[in-house]
Amino acid sequence: MRIAGWAAALATTVGAPLYCQTAAATNQEFPPFQVMANVYYIGTAQLASYLITGDQGSILINPDFESSVPFLQASVSKLGFRFSDIKIVLLSHAHDDHAGGTALIKKLTGARLMVMDGDVAEIEGGGAGDFQYHSHWPPAKVDRTLHDGDEVALGSTRLIAHKTPGHTPGCTTWTTEVRQDGKRYQVVIVGSPNVNPGYRLRGNKQYAGIVADFERTFRVLHSLPCDIFLGAHGAYFDLPAKYQRWKAGDKLAFVDPEGYKLYVNDREKAFREELRRQ
């Protein structure tokens, strides 16, 4: 999802959509931290990136802009991990604010890039064929094309790729399971269920199946069990407030199944209202 100002995000209702902005405005530093178990937040104040660590290296979700990469490197180092240990790169979706740094991170780490079918051409074309935007970023070779329900494994680390299209044709929501203090938690990292300003839902010749894809996405999101609610932008899951609770000692601050349900319901309502308006 391409986004607007952080202040605007905080002023909106739960999970309301955010709009376009430059890389410079979104690269505001944010302290890296351990969400739970082997899931770490390493993104900026607006662009959510995650490091999933394991016994055979790490998985990075969302390289963000190319100019974001130094922030990600610094965050990984602050957490005590090595950037060179990143073995797999994954994405939420093929927009420049999540995928622009992919080629650089592949170059720096040698990691394999795995992308959902539907977004592969955009990643390998550097955004040249996007149905809505005209931004471009360095293209990156996809090493594995993913399909709905595929498992991404690295040692004992497992993630499941759920195709949640509409925002982009290959938008992906990631799930994994973690354990803490003998309890299991289901982690959901939402790709994006948002209808951005300017998206044409009816009669979209560049993306004829966009309505059916959004419908599919909401069915999938409603079906996923969620304890820990995360997403491609911190505004989805109220990152600033939850981080302050986490910093104060609440290690379950990101356990928010009700917040997840509210977010999905709110985004589906917004989609249906926009569909009726058009």
**Cβ pair 201, 274 in contact under 8 A:** yes
Which of 15, 93, 63, 42 minimizes the C-alpha distance to 243?
42
Of 3-12, 97-106, 109-118, the one with minimum mean pLDDT is: 3-12
Q: Which residues span the domain enclosing 126?
A: 27-277
Domain count, the chain: 1
Residue at 227 is within a domain: yes
pLDDT at residue 9 above 80? no
Does residue 15 lie in a domain region?
Answer: no
Q: Is the pLDDT of residue 20 over 70?
A: no
Residue 1 pLDDT exceeds 80: no
Checking if the pLDDT of 83 tops 60, the result is yes
Question: For the residues 208-230, what does the mean pLDDT come to?
Answer: 98
Q: What is the pLDDT of residue 24?
A: 67
> pLDDT value at position 23?
66
Examine residue 2 and state whether it is found in any structural domain, yes or no: no
Query: Has residue 34 been placed in a domain?
Result: yes
pLDDT of residue 134: 81
Asked if residue 157 is part of any domain, the answer here is yes
pLDDT at 22: 60
In sign, the C-alpha dihedral spanning 236, 237, 243, 245 is: positive
Whole-number pLDDT of residue 135: 82
Instruction: Give the three-class secondary structure for 73.
Output: helix
pLDDT, tens only, 127-165:
998 999 988 899 999 999 999 999 999 999 999 999 999
Provide the token pair at 7.
């202040």
Structure tokens at 253: 């601050």
Cβ pair 116, 191 in contact under 8 A: no
The overall average pLDDT reported for the chain is 92
How far apart CA 90 and CA 123 sit, in angstroms, is: 11
- With beta carbons less than 8 A apart as the criterion, state whether 62 and 173 touch: no
Q: Rounded to 5 degrees, what are φ and ψ at 135?
A: -80, 155
- pLDDT 10s digits, 249-277: 999 999 999 999 999 999 999 999 999 99
Yes or no: say if 59 and 97 are a contact pair by the CB < 8 Å rule.
no
Residue 242 lies inside a defined structural domain of this protein: yes
Query: Is 7 inside any structural domain?
Result: no
We report the CATH number of the domain holding residue 34 as 3.60.15.10
Q: Is the pTM of this model over 0.85?
A: yes
Angle at 191 between CA 156 and CA 230, to 5 degrees: 65
In a domain, 199, yes or no: yes
pLDDT at residue 206 above 60?
Answer: yes
Residue 208 CB-density burial (10 A; 0-12 exposed, 13-18 middle, 19+ buried): exposed
Mean pLDDT of 94-102: 96
Mean pLDDT of the region 202-212: 96
3-state secondary structure of 111: coil
Could you tell me which of 52, 47, 11 has the C-alpha nearest to residue 28?
Answer: 47
**Cβ density class 115-125: b for 16+ within 10 Å, e for less:** bbbbbbbbbbe
> Among all chains, which residue has been given the structure tokens 């991990």?
81
